[in-house]
């Protein structure tokens, strides 16, 4: 459902995909859409730019509207929107790879979250939020450094050197 809120000047006309005329005018409309399924579904509301053709009355949205709908879903789920993740990473002067190494999250996941292809879960969101805090980043780096020093696996039950030697016999070997 669209409710017109604001009309932009006619100087900003777009080609209508329905009639191929450059007569579509951008308006800001309140749009409601359903998110979720079954008993868990909710109706979200967001203001988005909608192109409306003055010749044939056809209306359509663009990437900006999709981004705004995605951000509304993120707000509903109480997680950061893609732009917020990018903002944190850039503020820290990190690449996606740097952030992945610090958090031990997958670089591909970070790329998907930043592009809006997937929404991160609450625990990943919490870890990303912790990256904003210098003290938390410092603790993460300490843990990474400690893990590098203690690369040998720790066992809960103490085992003897002979038991370690026997266990090493069962390592997988590459064929051919």
Number of structural domains in the chain: 2
* pLDDT score of 100 more than 60: yes
Output DSSP code: residue 92. T
Q: How confident is the model at residue 10 (pLDDT cuts 50, 70, 90)?
A: very low
Q: Is the pTM of this model over 0.85?
A: no
Bridge partners (DSSP) listed for residue 34: 43
Summarised one tens digit per residue, pLDDT across range 81-92 is 999 999 999 999
In total, the chain counts a number of residues equal to 176
Q: What is the DSSP string of 113-141?
A: HHHTSSPPPHHHHHHHHHTTSHHHHHHHH
Out of 33, 52, 77, pick the residue that ends a domain. 77
Asked if residue 163 is part of any domain, the answer here is: no
Among 31-35, 87-91, 162-166, whose mean pLDDT is lowest? 162-166
| In a shared domain, residues 107 and 69 | no
Range of the domain at 28: 2-77
Same domain, 90 and 64: no
| Average confidence (pLDDT) over 16-21 | 95
Same domain membership, residue 103 and residue 58: no
pLDDT tens-place string over residues 51-66: 999 999 999 999 999 9
Domain harbouring 111, CATH code? 1.10.260
Query: How many CB atoms within 10 Å of residue 4?
Result: 11
> Is the model's pLDDT at 117 over the cut of 70?
yes
């Amino acid at each position: 459902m669209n409710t017109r809120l604001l009309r932009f000047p006619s100087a900003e006309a777009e080609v209508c995909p329905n009639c191929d005329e450059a007569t579509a005018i951008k308006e800001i409309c309140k749009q409601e859409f359903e998110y979720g399924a079954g008993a868990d579904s909710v109706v979200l509301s967001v203001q988005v730019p909608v192109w409306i053709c003055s010749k044939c009355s056809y209306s359509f949205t663009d990437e900006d509207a999709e981004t705004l709908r995605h951000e509304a879903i993120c707000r509903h789920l109480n997680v950061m929107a893609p732009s917020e993740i990018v903002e944190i990473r850039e503020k820290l002067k990190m690449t996606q790879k740097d952030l992945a190494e610090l958090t031990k999250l997958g670089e591909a996941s970070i790329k998907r979250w930043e592009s809006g292809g997937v929404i991160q879960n609450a625990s990943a969101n919490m870890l990303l939020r912790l990256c904003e805090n210098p003290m938390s980043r410092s603790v993460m780096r300490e843990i990474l450094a400690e893990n590098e020093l203690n690369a040998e696996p720790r066992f809960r039950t103490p085992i003897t050197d002979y038991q370690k030697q026997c266990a090493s016999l069962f390592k997988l070997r590459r064929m051919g």
